[in-house]
Structure 1
């Protein structure tokens, strides 16, 4: 039940067939598409880095104005005992 010879025969049949025609402008089209993809990726990376910087600045400004690390002020006074 070894299918290796069957697969090898199928590959040999595929290699013996006539090869399809390749378009003459394939290389320039592929180069243009690759350039577009690289530009899009570069723009996306710059946008994400800018978004990260803006988020850090906004968080820093928020933290410096609200002081979230300090305890909130008490709204009631403690009971007076021992007067």
Structure 2
């Protein structure tokens, strides 16, 4: 297909009448958009809730386990003052 044939084919396509748009297309798009926004907001809330729960769980673990404190010695200290 050379350039002239492509141009002629493009003109034929552009001269056709555009396809009919369904009358309820806008309402369907708005409904779908609202549903997507609600799902995204719910996912965002669940993400923040999960982050908060993980923070609380880590804080409780850190306060009970106290990983910054040196563990007690397993051996007895040397006797001094005898």
Decide: shared fold, TM above 0.5.
Answer: yes
TM-score scaled by length of structure 2: 0.75
- Structure 1 pair 79–24 and aligned structure 2 pair: CA distance change class (3 A): same
What count of residue pairs does the alignment treat as equivalent?
76
1:39 and 2:38 aligned? yes
The match for 1:29 is: 28
Structure 2 residue runs of 5 or longer lacking an equivalent are none
Structure 1 residue runs of 5 or longer lacking an equivalent are none
After superposition, the CA RMSD in angstroms is 2.5
- Structure 1 pair 16–64 and aligned structure 2 pair: CA distance change class (3 A): same
TM-score scaled by length of structure 1: 0.74
